[in-house]
């Protein structure tokens, strides 16, 4: 036999559970048996003592009133609790005795004393080691007599021994049944766990559609299976999102790269065409677009891996908004109307500037003639609104535009300059600042984005 088989730590959960259950039942039966034997012994012994003491009192009363000769057969009768009755004179002679009692005193008269003695320590007798109850009483003639009653204490010991023996015989059966029941129950439960483990082992990254079986019932294992299925669903969704992300990123990078390669191939075949106009109007815009896309991809990848590393400091949001509005006016030539109130928030200046810049850039790409910017404080919250008078966004698409690489049909041309990541970055930065962003209709037509952040106390 291998050594590992005798070590409980190497057993299965079913065997260990059965061993623990058997040990607990063994200890419980042992403690219960000892307590039961002690209580039963004290109870039976008290019953025997009371029966013997009652007989002593009855006999003593008759002797005190009429003398030992008046005792009838009933008072001298014996049973399982009273084994012998003797009336002993002062000279040590036995005047009256029950059938089967010896003609000599059961115990020395000098050990009894005057008052009643109940449950005296065991003495040797023809009946073996038994207890006695006794009392010395004066008869009508003034003579003193001692009443001695031998108690049936051997029967008490025999009864307790029988009970202990029965418990000792029944204990192994109870222990074996409890261990077997525990083993089978845990084994059945672990079979469900093993099914879950086997199913999870079969699920691979190439196929995440598998789910673990949910056992019948509402126990902890069923809850585990439900939780595992929910986790697998999240893993599948994340894996699908990652695949879409990689596919979309590859597609987005392929377009500017193909344009640059095509322009370079033309320039290689016709060196005279490689001039400042080609570099300025074809190569540089595509390279800038690819660099912007790569920067956004790296930003989102770092955020997915470690979360947004948001600094917490006082930020004058009005200064950030005013600076981005000025940049837009200078570099994009777009008419911008701005109503900016002083507002301070707690957050990351760089990340919040990225939010304002992306929203302004998105509005400028779709605006027909004007971009509107409003910043105010309302009920303890900073509210930034950036709108445009462009074609607008259908209500069904207002949540979808915050997903990655989502661009609506009218904004899909590369000439528009969008990569489909700007609003996704805005959504994640605002969420990291415990704020909210939404798209709604602009009065008079178009779209406006509304960002709400907690304002800092000035």
pLDDT tens digits for range 400-426: 888 777 766 544 444 444 567 788 888
Does pLDDT of 383 surpass 90? yes
Taking residues 315-342, report their average pLDDT.
Answer: 87
Q: What average pLDDT does the structure give for the chain?
A: 81
Q: How far apart are CA 416 and CA 186, in angstroms?
A: 65
Cα dihedral: 156, 161, 164, 168 (round 10):
-170
- Name which of 162, 156, 64 is nearest 116 in CA terms: 64
Cβ(441)–Cβ(388) under 8 Å?
A: no
Say which range, 41-55, 62-76, 281-295, 307-321, has the weakest mean pLDDT. 281-295
Strand ranges for 248-401 from DSSP E: 313-316, 335-340, 344-347, 370-378, 381-388
Confidence of residue 147 (pLDDT cuts 50, 70, 90): confident
* 309-321 tens-digit pLDDT: 778 888 899 999 9
Name the 3-class secondary structure at 140: coil
Question: What pLDDT is attached to residue 19?
Answer: 87
The pTM (predicted TM-score) of the whole model is: 0.50
DSSP 10: G
Taking residues 323-331, report their average pLDDT.
Answer: 86
- Name which of 451, 252, 452, 455 is nearest 359 in CA terms: 451
Cβ(380)–Cβ(361) under 8 Å?
A: no
Question: Domains of the chain by range and CATH?
Answer: 1-202 (3.30.450.20), 220-303 (1.10.287.130), 308-454 (3.30.565.10)
Query: Residue 392's Cα: distance from chain center in Å?
Result: 49
Q: How far apart are CA 438 and CA 369, in angstroms?
A: 22
Give the count of alpha carbons within 13 A of 326, CB side only: 8
The tokens of 402 are what? Answer: 């915050």
Does pLDDT of 363 surpass 50? yes
Does pLDDT of 369 surpass 90? no
Residue of higher predicted confidence among 349 and 4: 349
Question: What pLDDT is attached to residue 251?
Answer: 63
DSSP labels, 160-208: HHHHHHHHHHHHHHHHHHHHHHHHHHHHHHHHHHHHHHHHHHH-BTTB-
* 158-214 tens-digit pLDDT: 888 888 888 888 888 998 999 888 888 888 877 877 877 887 777 776 677 778 788
DSSP labels, 47-66: HHHHHHHHHHHHHHHHHHHH
Taking residues 105-128, report their average pLDDT.
Answer: 70
Q: Phi, psi at residue 413, to the nearest 5°?
A: -70, 140
* 57-105 tens-digit pLDDT: 888 888 888 888 888 888 888 888 888 888 888 888 888 888 888 888 8
Distances (CA, A) of 446 to 284, 368, 398, 424: 31, 9, 13, 20
Give the count of alpha carbons within 13 A of 9, CB side only: 1
* 149-158 tens-digit pLDDT: 888 878 888 8
Question: What pLDDT is attached to residue 412?
Answer: 40
């Amino acid at each position: 036999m291998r050594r590992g088989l005798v070590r409980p730590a190497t057993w299965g959960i079913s065997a260990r559970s059965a061993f623990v259950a058997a040990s607990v039942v063994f200890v419980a039966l042992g403690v219960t048996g000892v307590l039961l034997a002690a209580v039963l012994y004290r109870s039976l012994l008290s019953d025997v003592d009371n029966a013997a003491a009652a007989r002593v009192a009855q006999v003593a009363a008759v002797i005190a009133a009429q003398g030992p000769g008046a005792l009838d057969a009933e008072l001298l009768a014996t049973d399982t609790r009273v084994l012998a009755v003797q009336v002993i004179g002062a000279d040590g002679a036995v005047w009256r005795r029950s059938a089967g009692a010896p003609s000599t005193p059961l115990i020395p008269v000098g050990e009894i004393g005057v008052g009643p003695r109940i449950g005296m320590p065991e003495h040797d007798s023809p009946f073996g080691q038994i207890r006695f109850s006794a009392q010395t009483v004066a008869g009508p003639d003034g003579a003193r007599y001692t009443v001695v009653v031998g108690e049936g204490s051997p029967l008490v010991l025999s009864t307790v021994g029988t009970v202990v023996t029965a418990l000792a015989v029944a204990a192994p059966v109870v222990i074996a049944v409890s261990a077997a029941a525990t083993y089978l129950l845990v084994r059945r439960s672990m079979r469900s766990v093993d099914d879950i483990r086997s199913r999870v082992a079969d699920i691979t990254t190439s196929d995440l559609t598998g789910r673990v079986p949910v056992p019948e019932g509402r126990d902890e294992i069923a809850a585990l299976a439900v939780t595992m299925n929910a986790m697998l669903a999240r893993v599948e969704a994340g894996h699908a999102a990652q695949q879409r992300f990689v596919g979309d990123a590859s597609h987005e990078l392929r377009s500017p790269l193909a344009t640059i390669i095509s322009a370079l191939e033309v320039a290689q075949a016709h060196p005279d065409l490689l001039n400042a106009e080609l570099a300025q109007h074809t190569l540089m815009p595509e390279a800038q677009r690819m660099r912007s896309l790569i920067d956004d991809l790296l930003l989102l990848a770092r955020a997915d891996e470690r979360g947004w590393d948001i600094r917490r400091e006082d930020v004058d949001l009005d200064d950030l908004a005013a600076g981005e509005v000025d940049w837009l006016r200078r570099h994009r030539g777009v008419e911008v109307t701005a109503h900016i109130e002083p507002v301070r928030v707690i957050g990351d200046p760089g990340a919040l500037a990225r939010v304002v810049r992306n929203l302004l850039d998105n509005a400028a790409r779709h605006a027909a003639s004007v971009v509107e910017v409003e910043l105010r404080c309302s009920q303890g919250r900073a509210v930034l609104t950036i709108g445009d008078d462009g074609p607008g966004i259908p209500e069904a698409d207002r949540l979808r535009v915050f997903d990655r690489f989502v661009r609506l049909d009218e904004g899909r041309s590369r000439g528009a300059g969008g990569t489909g990541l700007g609003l996704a970055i805005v959504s994640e930065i605002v969420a990291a600042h415990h704020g909210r962003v939404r798209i709604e209709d602009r009065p008079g037509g178009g779209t406006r984005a509304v960002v709400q952040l907690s304002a800092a106390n000035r």
